[in-house]
């Protein structure tokens, strides 16, 4: 069975930071900085994001925590939680909410521009969360079909974008997409 992570793990195995769940305190802060994290006796982060390493095969195992950048993208890795069951009560509920929010992938409504070089491409897209500009390494490997006419895109910073139905894009957006699919 293939155990490759479904998301890029941003730290090397020898650098893994396993978090002691009895020292963690997650707090829901509202919409501006939804979830903060404090590690008792260590430090705090005002805004964090969480991602499952194996969302399809082992959704309860290996939860990676990251700082959250002001623009909503994933920041630096904080550490890993071995299993969701290691968290109790409000901590678990808050982290599960954070995980749900992390899986709200921006939906691409239109591709406004695509500039390509040999190994990199710059995309300007309109999403359900506003206009975004991002880069991809080797777009032919970072844009792919995910069943039917659904398309997934992964940028150079490992942020995900979704086109729920490519046939509903305007003709110019479809032409941009045809260049990499």
Which residue did the predictor score with more confidence, 118 or 78? Answer: 78
Average pLDDT of the residues in 52-76: 82
Mean pLDDT within 150-158: 84
C-beta atoms surrounding 133 within 10 Å: 11
For residue range 84-125, what is the model confidence (pLDDT) as tens digits?
999 999 999 999 888 877 666 789 999 999 999 888 999 999
H or E element at residue 95 = helix 89-102
Q: How confident is the model at residue 181 (pLDDT cuts 50, 70, 90)?
A: confident
Does residue 70 have a pLDDT over 80?
no
Output the CA torsion sign for 170, 175, 180, 181: positive
pLDDT of residue 4: 44
| pLDDT-based confidence at residue 31 (cuts at 50, 70, 90) | low
Mean pLDDT of 66-77: 81
pLDDT band at 2 (very low <50, low <70, confident <90, very high): very low
Strands (E), 40-98: 43-45, 48-52, 61-68, 74-83
pLDDT band, residue 16 (cuts 50/70/90): confident
The reported pLDDT for the residue numbered 84 is 94
Q: Using CA atoms, how far apart are residues 99 and 59, in angstroms rounded to an integer?
A: 10
């Amino acid at each position: 069975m293939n155990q490759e992570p479904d998301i890029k793990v941003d730290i090397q195995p020898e650098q893994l930071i396993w978090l002691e769940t009895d020292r963690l305190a997650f707090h829901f802060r509202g919409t501006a900085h939804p979830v903060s994290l404090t590690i008792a006796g260590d430090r705090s982060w005002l805004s964090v994001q969480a991602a499952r390493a194996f969302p399809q095969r082992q959704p309860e195992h290996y939860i990676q925590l990251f700082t959250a950048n002001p623009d909503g993208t994933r920041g630096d890795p904080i550490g890993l939680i071995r299993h969701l069951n290691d968290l109790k009560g409000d901590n678990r509920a808050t982290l599960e909410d954070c995980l749900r929010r992390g899986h709200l992938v921006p939906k691409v409504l239109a591709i406004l521009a695509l500039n390509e070089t040999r190994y990199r491409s710059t995309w300007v897209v309109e999403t359900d969360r506003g206009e975004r500009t991002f880069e991809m390494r080797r777009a032919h490997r970072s844009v792919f079909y995910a069943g039917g006419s659904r398309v997934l895109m992964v940028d150079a910073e490992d942020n995900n974008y979704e086109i729920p139905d490519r046939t509903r894009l305007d003709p110019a957006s479809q032409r941009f997409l045809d260049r990499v699919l």
